[in-house]
Chain A
Amino acid sequence: MNQGFSAPEAPDEIIRIEHMTYEYKREGDQAAYVAVNDVSLSIERGSFVAIIGRNGSGKSTLAKCINALLLPASGKVYVNGWDTTDEARLWQIRQTAGMVFQNPDNQLVSSIVEDDVAFGPENLGIDPPEIRRRVDRSLSAVNMFEERTKAPHLLSGGQKQRIAIAGVVAMKPECIIFDEPTAMLDPNGRAEVMKIIERLNREGITILLITHFMDEAVRADRVVIMDDGRIAMDGTPEMIFAHSDELRRLDMTVPFTVDLADRLRRNDIPVPQSTIHIQEMVDFLCQYKSEI
């Protein structure tokens, strides 16, 4: 087509946040506590974005504003172009941008796994046979089909969290916001949940992962670091983790591979700056060993 003339096409964005501020007002307090301070952010459709930051950095609040669970004090949040303050679009926004929370116990509604997964589609008023199909498909997608008639309280944290994911997937969202989904899980459960998240992203669902764990953030294609209600850093994991000093200044732990690379460099082993994944490190070390 006529590439020469058209303006560069804006990236297809699913979420756009413009100068958003959110304040908590506690009773008795004079001044409001500003949780999110003038943040602008745009999330590209189909991407996998990790948001990291220490406690109280505003990352959870930001997530809840995208799902219209909280409304910004000033600024705008758009999901699929819909303003989150538009009440007529509220259910469409929540269906488009699903949300998985931290505590696996406190987000399951029913005492039977498949009934819980059906909860979202039931709320959307979908026909019973279609609900059945969606429930079966989303339970298979999180490898929990065998457990469909069990009671959630008999399952592990990782399994419960996967059911919560299935419950969101059954609503056919375009984007899923994960608010520290692995914070309360053991390493096994954490690995299971991360595997599912990556698979969902490959299937075209935009992922917004809020996390404490750097090793999870490394797997995203973009990392946003929040500090004190503002965006402190934003870029690809390779870019972000190349600034390990900056990260340490923000009180962040550095992923294991990055930390190792720093130490090796200090000992005059020339590890490339872009080494952030374990596999790259392994490849480099093997190659390095064969060279000496």
Chain B
Amino acid sequence: MLRDITLGQYYPGTSVIHRLDPRLKIVGTFIFLISLFLVRNFIGFGIAVGFLALQIAISRVPLSFIFKGLKPVFLIILFTVVVNMFMTRGEPILQWWIISLTKEGLYRAGFMGLRLVLLIIGSSLLTLTTKPISLTDGIEKLLSPFRGVGLPAHELAMMMTIALRFIPTLLEEADKIMKAQMARGADFESGNLLQRAKSLIPLLVPLFISAFRIAQDLAMAMEARCYRGGDARTRMHAMTFSWRDAVAAICLVAFVAVIVVQSHVL
């Protein structure tokens, strides 16, 4: 059951978007998200939706995957929309008891809702089209200039790589322990919340112990393979900034320029 979990939400593909330099994708996503806060009207959002739709089309990620990312935050979006709809002062359209729906409220609710949806889709496009391992590599490269001020860029990236590698291993381990404890009569499913939380103790304690044992084994194996931190280390996949990345960067700059001009100059 636990063997076929997918890590992150990477959707395998070979599109241009998939093949972009992860560094560009990370920085580009940040710029895109920030630019969404510069938008002041629906025309601006129209441009942003168009830009995002174009990227999704190029990436060939099915829309169902794109919208799956919205599911966990659906309640937050709903809450934002409802609060904005009824709590904004202005010209009332509908009024009932102390609740009033205003024209300004409706406008703001649509505005905020759309912004949230774009923010989430924009960032999930990054994780959908980039392998977790390339993401960590990209983060390592992007953070490496800050090594001088004491930021452990390589160590952070290595931790993420190892975490990604061992999530399935620890899940398998948890599954094994759970079955072993169930065979001894442990009950994980009945009782109230507190009882259920308590019943997890016989699962968590052995899981922690085995996590430490795995860490010890892994540390020894890494040392045996000459691991000695990030200095003097080379990488098999050297990241190269190709013409493809240059085109993508120009597109992004053009998009930001249009947004700025449209909402602040015109």
List chain A positions with a Cβ less than 8 A from chain B. 64, 67, 69, 91, 94-95, 98-99, 101, 103, 105-112, 114-115, 118-128, 131-132, 135, 151-154, 164, 167-168, 171
A106:B133 contact, CB within 8 angstroms: no
Interface of A is mostly: helix
Complex contacts, B238 vs chain A, CB 8 Å: 128
List chain B positions with a Cβ less than 8 A from chain A. 3, 7, 131-133, 161-162, 164-165, 168-169, 172, 213-214, 217-218, 220-228, 232-238
Q: With A152-B165, A153-B165 given, name 5 new contacts (CB 8 A).
A: A101-B224, A106-B213, A111-B161, A111-B165, A153-B172
Complex contacts, B233 vs chain A, CB 8 Å: 122-123, 125
A120 touches which of B3, B162, B164, B225 (Cβ 8 Å): B225
Ranked 9 nearest A-B pairs via Cβ: A107-B221, A106-B217, A153-B168, A118-B236, A120-B225, A123-B226, A99-B224, A131-B236, A111-B165
B217:A103 contact, CB within 8 angstroms: yes
A-B contact pairs, 19 of them (CB 8 A): A94-B224, A101-B220, A103-B217, A106-B169, A106-B214, A109-B161, A109-B222, A110-B161, A112-B131, A115-B236, A120-B225, A123-B227, A123-B233, A126-B234, A151-B7, A153-B3, A154-B3, A167-B225, A171-B225
In angstroms, Cα B221 to Cα A164, docked, is 10
A95 touches which of B218, B221, B222, B226 (Cβ 8 Å): B226
In angstroms, Cα B224 to Cα A165, docked, is 12
A67:B165 contact, CB within 8 angstroms: no
B224:A105 contact, CB within 8 angstroms: no
Complex contacts, A119 vs chain B, CB 8 Å: 222, 225, 227
A135:B236 contact, CB within 8 angstroms: yes
Complex contacts, B131 vs chain A, CB 8 Å: 112
Q: Min CB distance, B206 to chain A, in Å? A: 16
B226:A171 contact, CB within 8 angstroms: yes
